[in-house]
A and B are shown apart, each in its own frame.
Chain A
């Protein structure tokens, strides 16, 4: 418990230090705002792309699989 708390403290202090360094080397609040907004949107878009690609592959593989018998699930969705 104690070590977990100290690790959290360390992570928090490290994050604060990164921000201090970033602002210290001339990253303005405006740059930070744009970076956070566009960076998050880019990451989320990438995650959506990856999720869609994985699911499409999965569904394609399932469709190509030989039929296991007469039983088919009639989806209610």
Chain B
């Protein structure tokens, strides 16, 4: 990694920590309780931001990386690594979206879980992401694994618009979009709106840092695998040379015995 990239990653990491700390401070201590939800509204500063990262950011990058890998003109190992990194980090964020949503649901709806369209489609997405990660671990040659995973990511990507529009297509327990609604008139204001916005920025920064770190790990893993392959070939080569040497010595001994 170049010195400039390391420096940039460090800056993003520090900015992420500072902005998350500010979100927590504003969310838990500064913003007022909601008229209807009371203090439980504080979970809203975390939950939608996590959902934004998992659904749109991570999945957008994973789908784009997969398409670019499948397209013969743009095919490059980089796109496979990009998709794999985005999916792994996205899986963590999707899991947290479900957990924080479940806690919020318990306080607001009175249940931890409901088979509501938004919740079910998000759970399906989480399972599809786990499937992608499992598929990546199936032993195969590099090309086959990358192709398989790219197709799996694109199949899973079909679920993203379903998750997004589920609250409009079906009668759901989950509320409609508060900020990005169809009229584009946010029904939230003041310190709550700013804290929500800061939450989106801070979790985006956390994602960027994690994604860059994961991408680096993917590249290093490939290099380590190359070294392992090199070692294995050397071992086989050495074994072959020893066998040949043994055969030659055997032949020489036979000749000596005959003479």
Contact = CB atoms under 8 A, between A and B. Distances in A.
B220 A34 contact: no
Contact of A55 (B104, B106, B220, B234): B220
Interface string A53-74: 0011011001000001101110
Interface string B87-114: 0000010011001100110110000000
A2 interface: no
Contacts of B103: 29, 32-33, 36
A12 to B, nearest CB: 16
Contacts of A76: 142
A38 B21 CA distance: 10
B43 interface: yes
A76 B75 CA distance: 12
B222 A40 contact: no
A45 B50 CA distance: 15
Contacts of A77: 77, 142, 222, 226
B118 interface: no
B15 interface: no
B237 interface: yes
B233 A34 contact: no
Contacts of A71: 230, 233-234, 237
B46 A34 contact: yes
Contacts of B39: 28, 30
Interface residue tally of chain B, by bracket?
35 or more
A62 B100 contact: no
Interface residue tally of chain A, by bracket?
20 to 34
Given A36-B96, A58-B220, A77-B77, 7 more contacts: A33-B103, A41-B92, A52-B220, A55-B217, A62-B227, A69-B237, A75-B223
Interface of A: 28-30, 32-34, 36-38, 40-41, 44-45, 48-49, 51-52, 55-56, 58-59, 62, 68-69, 71-73, 75-77
27 contacts: A29-B43, A29-B107, A33-B43, A33-B46, A33-B47, A33-B99, A33-B103, A34-B24, A34-B27, A34-B42, A36-B99, A37-B96, A40-B95, A40-B96, A41-B206, A44-B92, A45-B209, A49-B213, A55-B220, A55-B224, A59-B223, A62-B227, A68-B230, A73-B230, A75-B223, A76-B142, A77-B222
Interface of B: 20, 24, 27-28, 39-40, 42-43, 46-47, 50, 77, 92, 95-96, 99-100, 103-104, 106-107, 142, 206, 209-210, 213-214, 216-217, 220-224, 226-227, 229-230, 233-234, 237
